[in-house]
A and B are shown apart, each in its own frame.
Chain A
Amino acid sequence: MTDESRPPRENLWLLTAAPFIWLAHLLLSYITGAVWCAKIAGRGGSLGAARAAIAVYTLLALAGLALVGWRAMRRRRPVEPGPAREYDAPGDRDRFLGRTTLLLTGLSALAVVYAALVALFIRSCR
């Protein structure tokens, strides 16, 4: 157990946290938009409240992503300085997981912002 500096499951789940936040953001925005247009506003109605909701989801998602990114940054920092190309150290595994998590956070943030752009341009249910 000495080479496991952190419980393994937490490591791998953190890797998927950022994309899951993106997925939740997309599905919530989609469901909100679709239900709003189908059940409340009707065809051609204003998207009003649904756009506001998408804005709120976006803020929440970005906050969540910032949190994940921050944790990844902390992990990425080398625990102890070592030779750069030595793969076989727990620190390397942590650096790898941290970096990949961070990259995924960036990608998810971009995709969330792309989705939020929609609420800027689309104003009605048509």
Chain B
Amino acid sequence: MTRFALSSSPDTASGRRRRATIRATDLALLAGVAALVACAGPQSALDPAGRGAERIAELFWWMTAGTVVVWAAVMALAFYVSTRRREPGPRAPGVLIVGGGVVLPVLVLTALLIWGLALLPSLLAGVDAEPTLFVTGRQFWWEVVYRTSDGRVVPLANELRLPVGRPAVLQLDSHDVIHSLWIPALAGKVDMIPGRVTRLTLEPSRTGVFRGLCAEYCGLSHAHMAFVVAVTEEHEFAEWLAHQAEPASAPASPLAARGQELLLAHGCGACHTIRGTLADGDVGPDLTHVGGRLSIAAGTLSSDPRAFQRWIEAPEQVKPGVHMPAFAMLPQADREALAAYLEGLK
């Protein structure tokens, strides 16, 4: 709106002045918007959607403000001392060293340390609570197991769904090398270390779809070890979990049915489990409801039939170092059938 008014204003001296002032406010606004845009994103720690991330973001903004102020002050001081005109008094260096080098830093750092220490217990809270969600890091995907309140165990992979407003305690470990589970929008990261068990509490404060990733370098496809986190309302979550606990649905079309036959015939079941079928391997991700996921190949591809085909044909190209063999030797029609079956596993 401002821009529109601006262009119609007459080109007079006062108009030019007004334009200048408007541009200044405009610029400030733009900067504000730019800052918001710069911080937004599906995996941004500065666009928090969870209690932990919110607290840390607040700490971050305060510290950033402090950093900018201190940095500017030191630069101004450096400029002054190197260009000064007046002869400094004999006490000046003492004041500079003791005041600037000792007293001020001690005050600021003590306050900051106390803040950090006071915040720490709340971020580690829940570590001793009973976990409901178990995530195991593997090269290069995530094995996810939900434990429902009635004690059922639901094995899943590469996707988390969480109810909004309720803390979830995750128990983390690793099958092979060290990984680190990081959902920047929800909370800080926690490492997954073979032979050790670590915990992480997530407490989403708004619904949405976020991206999680592996933060600790874990080998060839570290860059492709991600996952999707969907935060939903409590009831949606409950429905979803109940559905996930069910065995796989039967193939809905002749093509999908052929896909199921091919899947079992080519030995996919040696590595993957599809509950309700003969496939019961435990090397690769559980595929029972893979078609209902928001992504496949650990957050690397979308979950449409083309993506499934591409994955089956050349997983190594999508994800170097993956353990799954390529099935490029299958005829195109077979790969299509397989993809149709998998995509139909909603």
Contacts and interface: CB of A to CB of B under 8 A. Distances in A.
Interface string B82-120: 000000000000000000000000100010011001101
Nearest to A103: B102
B30 to A, nearest CB: 42
Contacts of B118: 121
A117 interface: yes
A44 B121 contact: no
Contacts of B128: 43-44, 124, 126
Given A43-B128, A44-B127, A44-B128, A124 B114 contact: no
A48 to B, nearest CB: 15
A110 B117 contact: no
Which residue, B113, B114, B118, B128, has most C-beta atoms of chain A within 10 A?
Answer: B128
Nearest to B119: A121
Which residue, A43, A117, A121, has most C-beta atoms of chain B within 10 A?
Answer: A121
B124 interface: yes
Interface string B120-164: 110011011000000000000000000000000000000000000
Contacts of A123: 121
A118 interface: yes
Contacts of A120: 117
Nearest to B102: A106
A123 B120 CA distance: 11
A76 to B, nearest CB: 16
A117 B106 contact: no
Contact of B120 (A43, A114, A122): A122
Interface string A107-121: 000100010011011
Size class of the B contact interface (CB-based, 8 Å): 10 to 19
Given A110-B106, A114-B113, A121 B127 contact: no
Interface residues of B, dominant DSSP: helix
Contacts of B121: 121-124, 126
Contacts of B117: 117-118, 120-122
Nearest to B126: A126
A121 B114 CA distance: 8
Interface in A74-126: 110, 114, 117-118, 120-124, 126
Contacts of A118: 117
Contacts of B106: 110
A9 B118 CA distance: 44
B338 to A, nearest CB: 45
B114 A126 contact: no
Contacts of B127: 43-44, 126
B189 to A, nearest CB: 17
A44 B126 CA distance: 9
A23 B68 CA distance: 32
Nearest to A44: B128
Contacts of A121: 114, 117-118, 120-121
Please provide the 3 A-B residue pairs with the shortest distance between their CB atoms, ordered closest to farther: A44-B128, A121-B117, A126-B127
Interface of B: 106, 110, 113-114, 117-118, 120-121, 124-125, 127-128
Interface of A: 43-44, 110, 114, 117-118, 120-124, 126
24 contacts: A43-B127, A43-B128, A44-B127, A44-B128, A110-B106, A114-B110, A114-B113, A117-B113, A117-B117, A118-B117, A121-B114, A121-B117, A121-B118, A121-B121, A122-B117, A122-B120, A122-B121, A123-B121, A124-B121, A124-B128, A126-B121, A126-B125, A126-B127, A126-B128
